[in-house]
Structure 1
Amino acid sequence: MFQDIQIEKLNELRAKNEITVIDVRSPSEYAESTIPGSINIPFFNDEERAEIGTLYKQVSTQAAKERGLEIVSAKLPSFVKQFAEIQGNKAVFCWRGGMRSRTTATVLSLMGIHVHRLEGGYRTYRKWVVDTLQSMDFAPDVYVIHGNTGTGKTLILRELQEKGYPVVDLEGMAGHRGSIFGEIGLKSSNQKTFDALLVESLIRYQDSPYILLEAESKRIGKVVLPEFLVQKKEMGRHIVLEAPVELRVKHILDDYRPWEYPAESLLAFSKIKSRIHTPIAQEIEFSMQQGNYGAAVRLLLEYYYDPRYAHTTEAYGEAFHQEPVLAIGSVEQAVQLVEERIQRDQEHVQAAAEDVQVKKHQSV
């Protein structure tokens, strides 16, 4: 017989990569939000789920159960085979640990395939995420990478992450680049997905002396940062980068590839067009229509994004404005400068900690 597993134990096994988590909800439920890293083996597809839901509401519970049994019976061999192909520990979940996951676990048990069932289902996981974010006491310092639009902050952070630095990729989790054009070519996350990715990233680095993240507003696309992280960011160690406009234009074109999304790019521009001096706005729009995206990006930087960035940084305290601006000519140079800054800071932190220990020893 299958065993229930609580969310805390499941998370412990997931952190060690010692269990495969299977979401047996429908594909649309899975796409809307799930436990990160889980795979989808749906008990019912979207059409079947809708049909059974209609029977449940309009006919009777018994009619819904009988139709559900018919559907499952027809595809049971392939359903069981998919689970049999997964090696090692397995756990299944549905919305609230009800019929779909219970039936799945029971059938698999009868076929000699042992799985755990998540107690309370996805609803329990979501509650754990929300409660954890609300009560989290996140100790590591925060390094915040600043720079005008196109400086390459995301590229720099991903290079640092490849080198093993503790990077929290907020834009990657949000599926959004943080600008009016930020969703183009991406699948933006909803709040549930973002929260799940964020809490797991923060837990992964909770014993690290610091994390690195990009200077973002409280809202990134469709999602909102938790207040404690906004405060940590504002009180963090700020690294300010400055890149030549030619490099910034190249970064933006390489990242956004607007020629692949001409209609979406024009639509996004229409949302900010009224905020730009009319002759400049017309020139930007004409350049985009002609496919001259380099000229359009350069004008957008000069007349829209750079003034907005300057206004935003005015809100930072005196300490921020005293930070030296690091001029960069490439992502590689920026990575090196950031590494050097972190190394100096951490050496000072270590020296200060050792000094405290010496003084304690002397006082004894």
Structure 2
Amino acid sequence: MFKDITPNQLFDLKQSKMTIVDVRSPKEFQDATIPGAINMPLFSDEERSVIGTIYKLEGQEAAKDLGLKICAKKLPEYIEAFKQLPQPLTVFCWRGGMRSKTVATVLDLMNIHVTKLSGGIKAYRNWIKEQLDTLPLPELFVLNGCTGSGKTHMLHTLEKEGYPVIELERMASHRGSIFGHIGRKPLNQRTFDLVLGEALLTLKNAPYIVIEGESSRIGKIKIPDRFYQHKEASHQYVIALPIAQRIELILAEYQPEIHHDQFIEAFSIIKRRIHTPVAHRIDEALKNHNYREAIRDLLDYYYDPRYRHTLNYNEEQMTTFKVTSIEDALAKLRAILPALHVF
């Protein structure tokens, strides 16, 4: 007989390469799932909709009967697909109900080692939220700097070198600015909270974490209040990189020549906030593919003034690194970060 496991147990098992399977419909899976899960839906979106309608009109038993008939037709192929997955397996649905119970029962009968997440993804989300609300937070080293200062590149490099890093923009799949979604598929709040919660649990024994200074929102994502307040109270390290290098970094990161129309559309959203002659100049530069000129004006007249306005920390809370390159900045960061790298 298969066993139920708790959210806490699932998180621990994830660290040992447990295969996690979301048996909900594709639409539910796309909306939000447990990080790292794969989707093997018991019902398609259309089948789930029909079963839901029958449940409302004719009751639970009629819906169960229809669900059984639909399952029976696809069961051999469905089981065979599970046999191809690395074991052990854990399956889950929305609340640990009929769908995951049915799949776990059938797999167990076929001698496929499987466990079921008790309470489903709803219970896992609630458990992660509890961790976000109560987990002791380590010291934060917060990297700040104007747009294009290379903070993301620095975090990537430090993470590869074994430093404990949480990259909020990567978790949100958004760079934070009005152009931040370009070339990416932003996550929703539910998924972001799960990813952040898991990252904090993974690094719970780290003596510190390096993160990027972000506002309380990254695109449409809101950073949980407790973590954001802890970030604001932490020491801020400001990277001051020459504007010419920042422009080149922005061009390499955002690739406006590939996403030209999206850049025009994004600029139209903030155009009215910029002094009219400058806004017109940026508009013309973008339309003519003169991206360096456009970015220079965007930095000088929009992003840098806004950034300086929000950087209102006490002098004792800030350290500014005037650097000539990203490598120079990384060298200065390594010098002040505690020596213990791997956790």
Shorter-chain TM-score range: over 0.9
Indicate yes or no: 2:206 matched with 1:211: no
The 5-angstrom pairing of residues 176-325 of structure 1 reads: 176-313=174-311, 315-321=312-318, 323=319, 325=320
CA distances 1:13-49 after superposition (whole Å, capped 9, x unpaired) = 11333x2111101111111111111111111111111
Read off the aligned partner of 1:318 and give its amino acid letter. E
> Between Structure 1 and Structure 2, whose CA radius of gyration is higher?
1
Indicate yes or no: 2:335 matched with 1:337: no
Structure 2: runs of 5 or more not aligned: none
Q: CA deviation at 1:297?
A: 0.6
Q: TM-score, normalised by structure 1?
A: 0.90
Partner of 2:209, secondary structure, is strand
> Which moved further from structure 2: 61-70 or 24-33?
61-70
Partner of 1:211, secondary structure, is strand
Aligned to 2:170: 172
Partner of 1:22, secondary structure, is strand
Distance 2:50 2:326 in 1: 53
Distance 1:343 1:100, change over 3 A: closer
Partner of 1:335, secondary structure, is helix
Distance 1:109 1:254 in 2: 51
Q: CA deviation at 1:343?
A: 4.3
Read off the aligned partner of 1:246 and give its amino acid letter. A
CA distances 1:176-219 after superposition (whole Å, capped 9, x unpaired) = 10111111111111111111110111111111111000010111
Q: CA deviation at 1:247?
A: 1.0
Distance 1:122 1:36 in 2: 11
Q: CA deviation at 1:76?
A: 1.2
Partner of 2:142, secondary structure, is strand
Q: CA deviation at 1:169?
A: 0.6
Read off the aligned partner of 2:332 and give its amino acid letter. L
Aligned to 1:91: 90
CA distances 1:295-331 after superposition (whole Å, capped 9, x unpaired) = 1111100000111111111x2112135x2x3233332
Read off the aligned partner of 1:110 and give its amino acid letter. L
Aligned to 2:127: 128
The answer (yes or no) to whether the contact 2:6–2:118 under 8 Å persists in 1 is yes
Aligned to 2:147: 149
Distance 1:62 1:229 in 2: 46
Partner of 2:257, secondary structure, is helix
Aligned to 1:41: 40
Q: CA deviation at 1:94?
A: 0.3
CA distances 1:137-181 after superposition (whole Å, capped 9, x unpaired) = 21x211011111100101111111111110001000111101111
Distance 1:171 1:73, change over 3 A: same
Read off the aligned partner of 1:94 and give its amino acid letter. C
Give percent identity, aligned residues only.
46
Indicate yes or no: 2:99 matched with 1:100: yes
Q: CA deviation at 1:87?
A: 2.7
Partner of 1:288, secondary structure, is helix
Aligned to 2:5: 5
Distance 1:84 1:248, change over 3 A: same
Partner of 1:259, secondary structure, is coil
Aligned to 1:20: 19
Distance 1:241 1:131 in 2: 34
Distance 1:5 1:211 in 2: 30
Partner of 1:200, secondary structure, is helix
Distance 2:153 2:188 in 1: 23
Q: CA deviation at 1:251?
A: 1.0
CA distances 1:340-359 after superposition (whole Å, capped 9, x unpaired) = 12148x8xxxxxxxxxxxxx
Structure 1: runs of 5 or more not aligned: 347-364
Partner of 2:190, secondary structure, is helix
Q: TM-score, normalised by structure 2?
A: 0.95
Distance 2:202 2:109 in 1: 37
Distance 2:109 2:133 in 1: 41
The total of aligned residue pairs comes to: 340
Distance 1:203 1:219 in 2: 22
Distance 2:212 2:86 in 1: 38
> Which moved further from structure 2: 36-45 or 276-285?
36-45
Distance 2:242 2:315 in 1: 25
